[in-house]
A and B are shown apart, each in its own frame.
Chain A
Amino acid sequence: MITCLKNGRLYDPAQQKNGVLEDIYIAQGRIVAKPSDPSKVTKTFDLSGKIVMAGAIDMHSHIGGGKINIARMMLPEFQESKQYSEPEAHICTPNCSHHATPNTTDTGFRYIEMGYTAAFEPALMPINARQAHLEMADTPMIDKGGYAMLGNDDYFLRMLASKKDQKSINDYVAWILHSTQSIGIKVVNPGGINAFKFNQRKLDLDENNRHYQISPREILKSLSRAVHELGIAKPLHVHCNNLGAAGNFETTLNTMNASDGLPMHLTHIQFHSYGTEGDKKFSSAAAQISEALNKNKHITADVGQILFGQTVTASGDSMMQQLNAKHANPKKSVLMDIECDAGCGVLPFKYRDQNYVNALQWAIGLELFLSVEDPWRIFLTTDHPNGAPFTSYPHLIRLLMDKSFRNEAFAKLNLDAQAMSNLTSLNREYSLYEIAIMTRAGAAKLIGLNDRGHLGVGAGADITVYTDQADREAMFAKPDYVFKDGELVVKDGKVVKVVWGTTHTTKPAFDIRVEKDLKDYFNRYHTMQLDSVKIHADEISSDGRGSINVHQNKQVSH
């Protein structure tokens, strides 16, 4: 039983294949070498004139867990446009609000229909991990995974404050990865969510959390070192301090130095690239940020592009969301302090092209995309749903690949914002090869998914086939075929078979004695026992749909 995808044009950056005409063979869910006996090929797809890429990987998308469910509960009105029929139906676009808070089935379907075969929840709160996995288990079609949030939990901050050695910290971080079934570690507003519980309203990189007398820089240093020494492929995922604040680009620049040269990933960097120039004291610092990104090879980033329309912002950053609550549109917000672990802030937001700040945010994101030189170190995200729903990716890809389309959109923006952006002077147009790096090869490499994001022999057969079209939005919105683990699951942009995907995790070795102190801590200070925190693999796999895929750590030389 071998399937042949014949005569496709391959964009496979992991193997430096840039538009090469080549056949692909699939057997038992994997890409295999050309069979010596051609009669073993039982099915052939003629892909003449088609573009072939690996399935796309969204390395940062809020698809599961408490925050998004709060957003759904808070915004039933978002679902209404989903049910429109003509004459209203045409107003429903990929940027429509119901895509901001899709239910779990729609999440999986909309991703696979665009040729995405995996998405990673970037803010899985350890204490809430079971909910995140339950939701991801109900998300069909795609592979899933999560980055566990640390750095605001009182357990970790107590360790830092009492100067516990790095090995103890590493053991705790590894224990968190195991017990939450995650593949990476995330830190949100390092120390800030915790400081907000002590009524601090703002925390700079070198400012101390009042209670612990610990700065965000120390947290970043400790966690990035733990991630590095444990040999986890995914660098520490960092949501910097001061999200959204005018002038925050300096915090972002300084954060790049906080890990002493160890790898870090700065997420939704658009929200952290703001200056204070101009009459409105809000300006683009994309030039400074991209220059620093170009220079600092140990840093990767995803953009968190905003696109205009109604969405909702769902963040672990309760400190900054408390400040943003006055901008909520419609005017409502849910803010939570959670379990001495972290927090969250959920508020609806409407980005408008005639609003100076919003228009400039849009331009800043694109300036970053076009000014960062290495596509292996910058990733295509909207921080779904915070900047825009993930369904708007095809539109974003067109903005990157089509200069005249981009400039036409720019010309419609708030005029003051236009005057403050150099976007039209940036002539770059992304190539298909570069898009494949950003959305496939680069993302897989970053997370450590060795058998995904490429089309080489041995890879999982997650494959997307497009018709080459001048309108890149139309092209990326509706693939001809999507194969998930070798099975044809989408045809002409519609799901033809439901599958469930796997959950990607990593499980570095650690000293199990870490549980002794944790157990005592939970008994004293928590409201559940340590055993209840741990997610067992069979909780994910026992329903007959889910499975766990444990990825090897990279080799590290100390």
Chain B
Amino acid sequence: MAELHLMKSSNKPTLPITHCCPACGLLCDDLVLTSTSPLNIKNACTKSISFYNSAWLTNSNTPRIAGKASDFNTAIQAAADILRASNQPLFAGLGTEVQGMRAIVALAKKTHATLDHMHSESTVANTLTIQHSGWQTTTLTEVKNRADVILAIGTDIVSSHPRFFEKLVWNEHSLFDKPRPEIIYLAVPKHLSADNLKAGISPAGKAPTVIAADTAKLPEIISALNALMNNKKITENQVAGITIEALQSILDTLKAAQYAVIIWSASNFQYAHAELTVQSITHLIAKLNENTRVAGLPLNAGDGDTSVNNTSTWLSGYPTRSRFFADQASYDAHHFSSNQQLNKCDALLWVSSFNTQQPTCDAPTIVIGHPNMQFDIVPAVFIPVGIPGVDHTGSMFRMDSSVVMPLKQLRENQLPSLSEVVLQIEALLT
């Protein structure tokens, strides 16, 4: 067996360092790390503070085999042994960026693995929409410079993307002297803090329009909007508690906009066949675009979901929920989900390098992930790895899929990267 070379060369970054934050899909690159004790980061939001705090709590770089401390070589060997004995492993979690995913796909080809991301339940609603009818979307810089109406469907936006309004809506400068956008919230989930909607109040104090309704009723609400858009008569006075006048008013606002943006977060559509709601939203957008400009903006769920999906797609031809067998990839958006596969697989490789999310699975489990992971169920093998954008460099897709941001290394430590570990495991399986 080849000797491992996981120790990193000295590459100590100099503070202050401007860098990109991987804590949500906005990938803000204006954060500045000014000191590490105490930890001080300029432009950090609530999400990034908790991300970096968790990263800097890190003091463990010890792999574990069945809970017992081990060295990297032995742990990697143990992981390889599990995968060698497995006929149908599941690689899930997949909280990583492009470089990590490249290594994961190579290992999956060698082990006939099934691949699924921890947030794919929401990603899949969007992917299925692309595959069924397509969509018309926009990106963050377009929103910042063009949006004069923003309709947020089933999301407050800021609970998943905290700096959205600060950076893209209430920005001081825009290219075309547009007015401050008009904000409409539709059917925001009730479990989210009502305070979050304050982000939609303009700097001049103008309150957003808030149309309350049960998020689970969105299928009928969006259908009603589509009916109105297509001049179909609605006999009821209200839909899901919303008056037809209020729905018509949303539509009129969208039609009158120079550039309206409709935002949704599929992860908040917590019901079966959420893809039909997304599809219904995108039909509305397509119809509106026959005469005026309107674009969609799906919010991602995080943990590298956009990076993983894109990388998988160019490497194998398929987005995740894919499987490799005999040099061929196959794809099944339903059958290859973690939910379906967790009780069918004979080994689980769980990857989570941005947070400490842990799996529950009866099969022998390898966890490669965040060094702070604490386990309720002790996995067969745990290999701590560096956090992308903190411990090593990386490449990460922003939520809008159009921009790949370079992640920097912010500190020096002994943790290997996910791709280094995965390549070593793969080498043992040759």
Contacts and interface: CB of A to CB of B under 8 A. Distances in A.
B401 A66 contact: yes
B313 A525 contact: no
A336 interface: yes
A73 B309 contact: yes
Contact of B315 (A70, A105, A322, A528): A105
B236 to A, nearest CB: 31
A406 interface: no
Given A76-B318, A336-B137, A528-B29, 11 more contacts: A73-B131, A73-B309, A76-B317, A130-B403, A335-B137, A335-B289, A338-B138, A531-B29, A532-B406, A539-B395, A539-B406
B174 interface: yes
B315 A104 contact: yes
Interface string B153-184: 00000000000000110000111100000000
Given A82-B328, A197-B142, A340-B141, A527 B174 contact: no
Contact of B29 (A76, A127, A529): A529
A130 B396 CA distance: 10
A509 to B, nearest CB: 25
Contacts of A527: 26, 140-141, 144, 167-168
Contacts of B132: 332
B142 A73 contact: no
Contact of B131 (A74, A337, A526): A74
Given A127-B402, A128-B402, A529 B315 contact: no
Nearest to A157: B175
B310 A131 contact: yes
A336 B139 contact: yes
B131 A76 contact: yes
Interface string B352-368: 00000000000000000
Given A333-B134, A339-B402, A526 B141 contact: yes
A134 interface: yes
Interface in B103-131: 127, 130-131
Interface in A317-376: 322, 325, 328, 331-341, 346-347
Given A332-B133, A525-B175, A527-B144, A532 B315 contact: no
B330 A340 contact: no
A131 B127 contact: no
A199 B290 CA distance: 10
**In the A-B complex, the 3 residue pairs with the closest CB atoms:** A332-B134, A130-B404, A103-B317
B51 interface: no
B402 A338 contact: yes
A350 B317 CA distance: 20
B130 A338 contact: no
B173 A524 contact: yes
A334 B138 contact: no
Interface in B303-324: 309-311, 313-319
B50 interface: no
Given A82-B328, A127-B402, A532-B405, A211 B176 contact: yes
B392 interface: no
A339 B20 CA distance: 18
B402 A525 contact: no
A170 interface: no
A138 B130 contact: no
B3 to A, nearest CB: 18
A72 interface: yes
A166 to B, nearest CB: 23
B72 interface: no
B402 A83 contact: no
B91 interface: no
A331 B133 contact: yes
Contacts of A387: none
Contacts of A424: none
B293 interface: yes
Interface of A: 64, 66, 68-70, 72-76, 78-79, 82-83, 98, 101-106, 125, 127-128, 130-131, 134-135, 138, 154, 158, 196-199, 211, 322, 325, 328, 331-341, 346-347, 524-529, 531-532, 539
B30 interface: yes
A199 B293 CA distance: 6
A340 B145 CA distance: 8
11 contacts: A69-B314, A73-B309, A125-B402, A128-B403, A138-B314, A138-B315, A197-B259, A335-B134, A338-B142, A527-B167, A531-B18
B395 A322 contact: no
Contacts of B40: none
Contacts of B174: 525
B135 A334 contact: yes
B295 interface: yes
Contacts of A337: 137-139, 142, 146, 295
A340 B175 contact: yes
A335 B294 CA distance: 11
A525 B135 CA distance: 26
Contacts of B133: 331-332
Contacts of A341: 141
Contacts of A158: 175
A79 B329 contact: yes
A197 B257 CA distance: 12
A105 B395 CA distance: 20
Nearest to A525: B175
B25 to A, nearest CB: 12
B331 interface: yes
Q: Which of B127, B134, B146, B176 has the most CB of A within 10 A?
A: B134
Contacts of B330: 83
B175 A73 contact: no
A101 B144 contact: no
B41 to A, nearest CB: 16
A73 B293 contact: no
B98 interface: yes
A549 to B, nearest CB: 22
Contacts of B145: 154, 340, 525
A527 B127 CA distance: 25
B137 A103 contact: no
Given A66-B401, A335-B136, A339-B142, A102 B317 contact: yes
